[in-house]
Structure 1
Amino acid sequence: MTWVEAALGSALGMGGVLVLSWAFARRATLDARIAPFLRTSLRDEVRRRDYSVTPVPALERLVAPVVRDLGAVISRWGSPSADVARRLRRSGSGLSVEQFRAQQVAWGAACLAAGVALALVLTATRGASVLASTVLALVLAIGGVLGRDAVLSQSVKRRQRRLVAELPTIAELLALSVGAGESALAALDRVARTTSGELTGEISLALADARAGQRLPAALTRMARDVGVPALERFAEGIATAVERGTPLAEVLRAQAQDARSQGRQALVEEGGRREIAMMVPVVFLILPVTVVFAVFPGLIAIDLGG
Structure 2
Amino acid sequence: MNAATAIAVAILLGGGVAGGVLLVLAALPRWRQAALIPRIAPHVRDVIDLPEASSALRPGLPLGEAWTALVAAVTRLLGSGEAAVRVRLAQAGSTRPVAWFRSVQLAAMLIGALIGAVATVALAVAGRMSAPAAVLPLLAALAAGLGADALLTMRARARAARLAEELPTVLEFFSLCLSAGEGLRDALRRVADVGSGELSGELRTVALAVATGSGLGDALAESGRRLQIPAYSRAVDQIVAALERGAPLSSVLQAQASDAREDTKRDLIERAGRKEIFMMLPLVFMLLPLSVIFAVFPGVFVLRLGIG
TM-score, with structure 1 as normaliser: 0.76
- Inter-partner Cα distance in structure 2 for 1:178 and 1:99: 40
Match of 2:241 in 1: 241
Distance, in Å, in 2 between the alignment partners of 1:152 and 1:39 is 26
Superposed displacement of residue 71, structure 1: 0.8
1:111 matched to 2:112? The reply is: yes
Change (3 A) 1:50 1:124: closer
User: What is the CA-CA distance between 1:101 and the residue it aligns to?
Assistant: 1.5
Mapping of 1:185-224 within 5 angstroms? 185-224=185-224
What is aligned with 1:80?
Answer: 81
Aligned to 2:163: 163
The answer to whether the 8 Å contact 2:37/2:53 transfers is no
Q: CA deviation at 1:141?
A: 0.5
Residue by residue, what CA displacement relative to the aligned partner does 1:238-262 show, whole Å, maximum 9, x if unpaired? 2122222232222221222222122
Aligned-partner Cα distance in 2 for 1:150–1:69 = 23
Instruction: Give the length in aligned residue pairs.
Output: 262
Q: Is the 8 A contact 2:57 2:64 kept in 1?
A: no
Residues 45/286 of structure 1: CA separation in 2 closer, same or farther (3 Å cut) = closer
Q: Hey, what's the Cα distance between the residues in 1 that align with 2:54 and 2:73?
A: 22
Letter in 2 for 1:115: G
Report the counterpart of residue 182 of structure 2 in structure 1.
182
For 1:93, the equivalent position in structure 2 comes to 94
Match of 1:42 among 40, 43, 46: 40
How far, CA to CA, are the matches of 1:39 and 1:165 in structure 2?
36
Residue of structure 1 in register with 2:269 after alignment: 269
- Structure 1 residues 282, 164: closer, same or farther in 2, change over 3 A? same
Tell me the residue number matched to 2:13.
none
1:133 paired residue number: 133
Deviates more, 1:203-212 or 1:88-97: 203-212
For 1:138-186, what per-residue CA distance to the aligned partner results, in whole angstroms no more than 9, with x for missing partners? 0111110111111111111011011112111111111111101223222
Equivalent residue of 1:117, what SS?
helix
Within-5 A mapping of 1:137-152: 137-152=137-152
Q: Return the offset for 1:290.
A: 1.2
Q: What is the SS of the residue equivalent to 1:181?
A: coil
Cα offsets for 1:176-201 (capped at 9, x unmatched):
11101223222112211222222112
> Can you give the 5+ residue segments of structure 1 that lack an aligned partner in the other structure?
1-35, 53-60
Return closer, same or farther for 1:264/1:290 CA change in 2, 3 Å cut-off. Answer: same
Distance 1:200 1:122 in 2: 53
The offset of 1:125, in angstroms, is 3.3
Letter in 2 for 1:87: R
Amino acid at match of 2:124: T
In the aligned structure 1, how far is the partner of 2:87 from the partner of 2:51?
23
Question: Is the contact between residue 116 and residue 133 of structure 1 (CA under 8 Å) also seen in structure 2?
Answer: no
Aligned counterpart, 2:45 = none
After superposition, the Cα gap between the structure-2 partners of 1:197 and 1:141, relative to the gap in structure 1 and judged at 3 Å, is same
Secondary structure at the counterpart of residue 306 of structure 1: coil
2: distance between equivalents of 1:65 and 1:84? 22
Is residue 104–residue 149 contact of structure 1 (8 Å, CA) maintained in 2? yes
- 1:133/1:178 Cα in 2 relative to 1: closer, same or farther (>3 Å)? same
Bigger relative contact order (CA 8 A; separation at least 6): 2
Q: Deviations over 1:99-158 (max 9, x none)?
A: 2122111111111111112222333335222x4222121011111011111111111101
How far does the alpha carbon of each residue in 1:2-44 deviate from its partner, in whole angstroms, 9 at most, with x for none? xxxxxxxxxxxxxxxxxxxxxxxxxxxxxxxxxx9x9998237
Partner Cα distance (1:39, 1:110) in 2: 30
Taking a change above 3 Å as real, the CA distance of residues 276 and 174 of structure 1, as seen in their structure-2 partners, is same
Alpha carbons of structure 1 residues 64 and 287: separation in structure 2 relative to 1, 3 Å: farther
Q: Deviations over 1:41-62 (max 9, x none)?
A: 823799589789xxxxxxxx88
Change (3 A) 1:119 1:167: same
CA distance in 2, matches of 1:120, 1:152: 31
Structure 2 equivalent of residue 120 of structure 1: 121
Of structures 1 and 2, the larger Rg is shown by 1
Deviates more, 1:108-117 or 1:80-89: 80-89
Distance change >3 Å, CA 93–CA 283, structure 1 → 2: same
Q: Distance in 1 between matches of 2:237 and 2:262?
A: 18
Q: Is the 8 A contact 1:238 1:252 kept in 2?
A: yes
